[in-house]
Homo-oligomer: A and B are copies of this chain.
Amino acid sequence: MQDLKVVLWGLGAMGSGMYRLLGMRPGVEISGAVGRNPAKLGRDLGEALGMEKCGVTIAGDPREVLAGSGAKLLLHSTGSFFKEVYPELVLAVRAGLNVITIAEEMSEPWAADPDLAAELDGEAKKHEVTVIGTGINPGFVLDALVIALSGVCFGIEKIEAERVNDLSPFGSTVMATQGVGTSPQEFARGVKEGSIVGHIGFKQSITLIARALNWQLERVVEEKEPIITETRRETPYVVVEPGMVAGCFHRAYGYRKGEAVISLKHPQQILPEQGGVETGDYIRIEGSPPVNLSIKPEIPGGTGTIALAVNMIPHVLKSSPGLKTILDLPFPSCWNELKR
């Protein structure tokens, strides 16, 4: 790949990681950056992200960056929901850029909003670019990897997959959206009121699996329960006393012929080992043959999401135009060596 120009939109932890990773890949040039944080606007991108100067200025107005950059591709990391990111994505598409986004709902946008998905698909085809959502979850562990394993089966009765991770490295935003540090009553209220959201993307993962397997599902049901700790757990960001909530056990089920044929589980808590829980990614297929996969420890979410987005680049550049999912493209691979 020669001199691929890329724009970054979204300069938080994920966007910053993409910047770092792109710098390790020969042949890629960052030609523009769009930020939101007023303190970063107008500053040099590299410097603002705590690295060396790179000569690219962070802009607040995406229009000028997209129009003037000569870029062929946008790496996008500003939000989670399709409706929220749609205006940004369509702006990039109309400027002729391919888009790789880590917005969770974009891993299967039809499941979030079929009309909007049809619209974005039409725009992408019209402007001859490809748009795809990726990430570690949704996008890999609880869907793509399940689907890949299914290929060795004659038939499948049931799928159960679980991602057990540790929230300890995360800060106050994640603690709040997962309900860490709340009382069981506060947790229940937070779930009801929508401030405790748990994991975003179960519907996407279940829809992707069902589509790959040609299963018609009647419904997708989600459950959120508090993980209550028996011991005191403490991180730099939160202290959780016994009897309080250390995390959110979020589950989702896809029903077919009255039976939960797809069960996805994602308990997220701080210091899971204090609850006797081993982190890891687990997939169990009941079928012929049965398949029983473990990845221990779990693939780290941040690194994995950043890597998948960047590693998807060659496939997106080769893809036919339109709004795609991971079902349409080959798996991304770690396509180049680290510069050393």
Is A190 an interface residue, CB under 8 A from the partner? no
A300 lies within 8 A of B294 (CB): no
A293 lies within 8 A of B294 (CB): yes
A295 lies within 8 A of B296 (CB): no
A154 lies within 8 A of B295 (CB): no
Could you tell me the dominant secondary structure of chain A's interface residues? loop
Query: Interface-forming stretch among A113-121, A164-172, A177-185, A324-332?
Result: A324-332
A213 contact from B288, B331, B335, Cβ within 8 A: B335
Is A193 an interface residue, CB under 8 A from the partner? no
A289 lies within 8 A of B293 (CB): no
Contact A304/B152 with A299-B289, A330-B329, A331-B331 known, Cβ cut-off 8 Å: yes
A292 lies within 8 A of B296 (CB): yes
A311 to B299 Cα, complex, angstroms? 27
A154 lies within 8 A of B303 (CB): yes
Is A54 an interface residue, CB under 8 A from the partner? no
Contact A152/B330 with A214-B337, A294-B294, A337-B214 known, Cβ cut-off 8 Å: no
Is A106 an interface residue, CB under 8 A from the partner? no
Mark contacts of A263-297 with chain B using CB atoms, 8 A cut-off: 1 yes-contact digit, 0 otherwise: 00000000000000000000000011101111111
Query: A304: which B residues are within 8 A, CB to CB?
Result: 152, 289
Is A74 an interface residue, CB under 8 A from the partner? no
A74 to B54 Cα, complex, angstroms? 54
Query: A308: which B residues are within 8 A, CB to CB?
Result: 151-152
A303 smallest CB distance to B (angstroms): 5
B24 lies within 8 A of A155 (CB): yes
A330 lies within 8 A of B333 (CB): no
Query: A156: which B residues are within 8 A, CB to CB?
Result: 334
Query: A338: which B residues are within 8 A, CB to CB?
Result: 154-155
A213 to B338 Cα, complex, angstroms? 11
A155 lies within 8 A of B334 (CB): yes
Query: A212: which B residues are within 8 A, CB to CB?
Result: 333-335
B151 lies within 8 A of A148 (CB): no
Is A260 an interface residue, CB under 8 A from the partner? no
A335 to B287 Cα, complex, angstroms? 13
Q: Which residue on chain B has the smallest CB distance to residue A281?
A: B293
* Residue in A306, A327, A333 with the greatest tally of chain B CB atoms within 10 Å: A333
A225 to B319 Cα, complex, angstroms? 44
A164 to B262 Cα, complex, angstroms? 29
* Residue in A150, A151, A215, A293 with the greatest tally of chain B CB atoms within 10 Å: A151
Given pairs A21-B154, A151-B311, A294-B296, 17 additional interface contacts (CB within 8 A): A140-B151, A140-B152, A144-B331, A148-B333, A150-B334, A151-B331, A152-B303, A152-B304, A155-B337, A213-B336, A214-B336, A287-B334, A288-B303, A292-B297, A293-B293, A293-B294, A294-B295
Query: Can you identify 27 A-B contacts, CB atoms within 8 angstroms?
Result: A24-B154, A136-B152, A140-B151, A144-B331, A145-B148, A148-B148, A148-B331, A150-B311, A150-B334, A151-B332, A153-B307, A154-B307, A155-B334, A213-B334, A214-B335, A289-B300, A289-B304, A291-B295, A292-B295, A292-B296, A293-B293, A294-B294, A294-B296, A326-B330, A328-B330, A330-B330, A331-B331
